[in-house]
Structure 1
């Protein structure tokens, strides 16, 4: 495993997951609910920002690696899955939405792995709808974590709307990737 700045940021994102989850298990006497929400939001946003930076720095510094290309999406999916499970537990996200989003991530990851093995990974490269899904999801989750009015914005309502948009885009993008892969699946007798 090459240790460089991009990979270190990705590893830091993975290390932040138990910190992020642990915030909600701190006794309320030590940290109030509003403070937990704020702190968890900050940790999630820091993790999301490191996701952007690690990819940017890997390309800018010429430090891309097979390990980084493997680990980066794993770190992203783990952080999003942890956040969604917590939000379900906190009754801020419906379990069906979490299942749709997490299920899609697992399905498309497996599809990409298979496509890479048959030398067709470009067929399931990230599409624009996937980027829209990620943007909606990465905006919704911090809003739902924060869960308090901010200026004149009903943050929780905005987060709920965006998580439903993210779920719809999740299904759309999964359909897109599966349609791209079906001819190759048929070609390989799968």
Structure 2
């Protein structure tokens, strides 16, 4: 197994580790600065999430640079991305840190675009990642990190960056999903 696929598998294996630190209550006094408080397990989960999210671009970059793109990598990479984001979003909903509708919008779009890509593959074409899709990913990751860190450092200035970022992620997720379907409507030939 080549290095990019190992990196992708590592991202998949980090998902339950992140969920453990997010959802399991470790009985240690939280880190507190005035009114701001965050548990150590949230900090650990966030750091692991950042590492996992950073590997998203790394595996593809290495595979393309070394010319070792594989079918396994093409399958695992988007799967790892979706598992990472969906698991954390669902965990944040469970923790009552994120509205369920935002998680549903984001996860539903991922399923829809994945379905579109599968139909395109059956038709012999590829639906490439768009610039909007890349922006969507960056904003989703930013929002997730802000929520995981209890809106740090914006909590000190009483600005709900986490909420703004979550709404921005939902809006750009919807827009990028619509963009994928409009640009690839020829793939969805319903008369067949």
TM value normalised by structure 2: 0.88
Q: Comparing 91-100 with 33-42, which one deviates more in the overlay?
A: 33-42
For 1:12, the equivalent position in structure 2 comes to 10
Aligned-pair CA distance for 1:155: 9.1
For 2:191, the equivalent position in structure 1 comes to 189
Q: Comparing 22-31 with 95-104, which one deviates more in the overlay?
A: 22-31
2:139 is aligned with 1:141: no
Q: Structure 2: 5+ residue runs without aligned partners?
A: 31-37
Cα RMSD after superposing both structures: 2.0
1:95 to 84, 100, 109: 100
1:171 to 169, 174, 187: 174
Tell me how far apart the structure 1 counterparts of residues 93 and 155 of structure 2 sit (CA, whole Å). 26
Q: Structure 1: 5+ residue runs without aligned partners?
A: none
For 1:37, the equivalent position in structure 2 comes to 42
Tell me the alpha carbon deviations over residues 13-44 of structure 1, each in whole angstroms, 9 at most, x when there is no partner. Answer: 01101111111343331574521111110010
Tell me how far apart the structure 2 counterparts of residues 21 and 51 of structure 1 sit (CA, whole Å). 18
Number of aligned residue pairs: give it.
Answer: 185
Flag as ranges the 4+ runs of structure 1 deviating above 4 A.
Answer: 30-33, 151-156
Distance 1:126 1:35, change over 3 A: same
TM value normalised by structure 1: 0.89
- Higher helix residue share: 1
Aligned-pair CA distance for 1:139: 1.0
For 1:125, the equivalent position in structure 2 comes to 128
Tell me how far apart the structure 2 counterparts of residues 156 and 42 of structure 1 sit (CA, whole Å). 22
Aligned-pair CA distance for 1:181: 2.8
